[in-house]
Structure 1
Amino acid sequence: VYWDWCRQQVMVMERMQGTPVSQIATLQAKGIDIPKLASDGVEIFFTQVFRDGFFHADMHPGNILVADDGRYIALDFGIMGTLNEVDKEYLARNFLAFFRRDYREVAKAHVESGWVPKDTPIDEFETAIRAVCEPIFDKPLKEISFGRTLLSLFQMARRFGVIIQPQLIMLQKTLLNIEGLGRELDPDLDLWKTARPYLERWMSEQLGWRSVVQNVQAELPYWGKILPQVPRLLQQQLQRSHDNPLNEELRLLIKEQQRQTRWLRVIGFMLAGLLAWQLTAHFLL
């Protein structure tokens, strides 16, 4: 972006040179590896989604050029999508569980991510997911559409009270574009074979020891600032507790209760003494 030339209604960006990705014959004539180009496009998309959580949401062929060295050139960033960490984990778990045909895990991922109510019956939800997904596996794996699978899951989930967030609708649309483009470039493209290693690696990084180390490193500056303040904060809290009028009222109430308890004990001793005196007098008579 050339910021010096930008105005409120004008954005000036670098002009990119390349071959439109739809001109396959021209790309082949330039020696571009078309199957690699197709798989690279899938990996670029999943990198944007799962690593960055920020993806180009309008990746139709008109917005993609190919450099002479085979690199992708994306154009027109007017529509961008974002995903938070919960969304990313939800999607990765769903994709991995789906291709393992672990429909219970798909159901649990929906519930645990908050996309369906927490009281959703897992068994019933699993059965509904199985009814949607199982027929898909009648096709060869390379013909299975990620985008259509995601759409089917969204449609089924609505029956259980889920409201699909706009960012996931954008993701599903973009995924359909990527799939269509990838298979136009390479009809034998197996999206699952291309995406699975990336998804499994990403999940391992999120749940493995590397993730723990990264989270600790990210929190260290915060704890480095907070820990020296802990003694002072504790002292302030104790002081507030001491000065709190409610605590004073509670103290007075306890004191009154203790006073009443002492009087009850005195009365009890007096009654016991009186009873003992009466019994003694009775036996003496």
Structure 2
Amino acid sequence: MGGEIMRISYRHIKRYKEIAQVMVKYGFSFIIERINKEGSGSKIDVSSSEPKDDIKNMTSGQRLRLALQELGPTYIKMGQILSTRRDLLDQDMIDELVKLRDDVETFDTDVAMAIIEEETGRNIEEIFSEFDKEPIAAASIGQVYNAVLKDGEKVVIKVQRPDIEETIKSDLEILKRVSGSIQDIIKDYNIDMKEMLEELSSQLLRELDYNFEAVNAVKMKRIFQNSDEVYIPEIHMEYTTKRVLIMERIEGIKLSDIDLIREKGWDTKKIAHIGVKAFLRQVFDFGFFHADQHPGNIFVLSESQIAYIDFGMIGMVDNRTLNFLNKFALAASEKNVDKIVRVLTEIDAIGEETDIEGFKGEMLYMIHYYYDIPLERISIGTVLNEIFRFFRKYKITMPPQLITLAKTIITLEGTARTLDPEFSAREISRAFIKNYYKSKINPKNIVMETRGNIEDILLDLKNLPKQIKNVLRIVEKNNVKISVEEVKMTRIEDCIKELTTQMTMALVLASIIVGSSLIIASPNIERNMGIKYMAIAGFFISFIIGLILVIEIVKVKIKKR
């Protein structure tokens, strides 16, 4: 560790000293002392440094927010990421970190124009008929301008700050070098510094390349291409590069301006319903959703249409995650905490340090508390925050997919309530259940899931001989002797035969069902009645095989008794 700290001191000494001074200023000198103690090379003297009285009177969350704000883009983004991790931090800390904003000083417009020309390989006059030199927003990563293309289309331009990539990469390297010391300091929290830094690095490096945001926007536009309720702005890919993004300008009312929306006489309840429906469609139909749905990123074009902007933060969920949510919800509705623990075990959320009995007790209490409360009075955000508090306390680790989804649902509920104070969890819950079971009974999804299960079984069977060979090699290598004198070999042979027969029948049954389903699902089936009857016969045969299989299993169980 010492050698790593020394390299930081010499390669990034100026930036490292800036970071240390800010940390000391806001009362986090113990972190620098710990790094000084474990490392060699340049030391930062913190012995005579003392925070001012007004800083001393602040909460830890306030001091951390101000420190991150002063340290710049890398640390602001780290704070923003942490503000979504309700599974890691207490609510009072979250409340402070969500106040972190990218509001920073603007950089010179001439520099921005030079970057545009360098990136696109064209002069400003070749691309735009008008270019407003006064930026409309300045964020930590880039700056935003209004302009008009040569064909008359109004656009907004994102231009990346000069040298921002070098600054961020330097900060990330420093953070990685000192992560061991920080991990020791925060050992009482359920925070894996290495994992968090990997997430931070991935997100920041994506944000440093506007091509990622452009692709996200194009995919989102494809999702809503036939929708009259959701509009996605056009991305001008011919001008978009790593450091420049040109997008159609949305002229509407920001969702955050509720008073103006109401002055228009628009139905805010209808707008809230459109937003919730659009989110659920993204999640259930595509597994790809806008993950930053705060009011500033949603425009209202009319009472029957909204538009999204800023596609830098996108969430993705797969069928496994949705299946987990369904199992968890069903277990909670049954008040079955043992089943909840089994479901969490399936996704490797429960670690060795988890006090399972304590977790069961608190989870059961929470279920009983919320069970009889009408859905109209329940806040999804409150419930999710309570669950995250339990998970934090008992060191239960949730998949990043679920954390992003939960954070987005909390933000969405808050946004919906600003439009409709009577908005309740019932709407999201009913829509969730409806969409989920609609997906589950979809023949195409059933066929795909069955095919996936068969492929898994076949893969396991294919790998079984290799796994047995590996076990035998380990046994031979370690000279392990297995005594089988008292084992009834005949009974073992019978069990293997029964198992092989049942497995073979199950595979044949699954194959016939999948084959028949694919035939039935074919759009050309009505053209050939012979094939149709063949598919029906396949279902009949599979029924007979299934019946035989059940009888065989029952006979085996009777024998065992």
Does the 8 Å contact 2:255/2:295 carry over to 1? yes
1:195 aligns with 2:428: yes
Q: Give the deviation of 1:217 after TM superposition.
A: 7.9
1:38 has 2:272 as partner: yes
**361, 366, 369: which one aligns with 1:135:** 369
Residue 289 (structure 2) aligns with = 55
> Which ranges of structure 2 fall in alignment gaps of 5 or more residues?
1-234, 456-561
Aligned to 2:321: 87
- Separation of aligned partners in 2, 1:183 and 1:83: 25
Residue identity matched to 1:200? I
Change (3 A) 1:144 1:54: same
Residue 252 of structure 1 aligns with which residue? none
> Given residue 176 of structure 1, which amino acid in structure 2 is its aligned partner?
I
What does 1:142-157 correspond to in 2, within 5 Å? Answer: 142-157=376-391
Displacement of 1:117 in angstroms is: 5.3
CA contact (8 A) 1:92 1:199 kept: no
Structure scoring higher RCO (CA < 8 A, sep ≥ 6) equals 1
8 A Cα contact 1:42 1:195, kept in partner: yes
Query: Of the candidates 446, 452, 456, which is equivalent to residue 212 of structure 1?
Result: 446
* 1:121 Cα deviation from its structure 2 partner: 9.2
Distance 1:146 1:51, change over 3 A: farther
Distance 1:207 1:112, change over 3 A: farther
CA contact (8 A) 1:103 1:126 kept: no
* Contact preservation (8 Å) 1:39, 1:189: no
Counterpart in the other structure of 2:487 = none
Mapped partners of 1:19, 1:34: distance in 2: 12
Partner Cα separation in structure 2 for residue 82 and residue 217 of structure 1: 23
Cα RMSD after superposing both structures: 3.6
Long gaps (5+) in structure 1? 223-285
- Amino acid aligned to 1:43: K
Cα pair 1:41 1:72 within 8 Å, conserved: yes
Q: Work out the CA distance in 1 between the residues paired with 2:283 and 2:433.
A: 14
Is the 1:147–1:175 Cα contact (8 Å) retained in structure 2? Answer: yes
Cross-structure match for 2:195 = none
CA distance in 2, matches of 1:147, 1:214: 34
TM-score when normalising by structure 2: 0.35
8 A contact 1:24–1:185 mirrored in 2: yes
Match of 1:186 among 420, 424, 429: 420
Structure 2 counterparts to residues 2-13 of structure 1, below 5 A? 2-13=236-247
Which secondary structure does the structure 1 equivalent of 2:369 belong to? Answer: helix
2:347 to 100, 106, 113: 113
Residue 274 of structure 1: aligned partner: none
Shift in Å, 1:157: 2.8
Letter in 2 for 1:28: R
Q: When the two structures are superposed, what TM-score results if normalisation uses the length of structure 1?
A: 0.64
Partner residue in 1 for 2:403? 169
Higher helix share: 1
In structure 2, C-alpha distance between the alignment counterparts of 1:139 and 1:108, rounded to whole Å: 26
Deviations 1:5-53 (A, max 9, x none): 0122112112112111123333234342211212222222233233322
Which one-letter code corresponds to 1:82 in the other structure?
A: M
Instruction: Please report how far the alpha carbon of residue 159 of structure 1 lies from its aligned counterpart in structure 2 after TM superposition.
Output: 4.7
Cα deviation per residue 1:189-248 (whole Å; 9 max; x = unaligned)? 112x2123322233324544633234468899x9xxxxxxxxxxxxxxxxxxxxxxxxxx
Distance across 2 between alignment mates of 1:36 and 1:168: 28
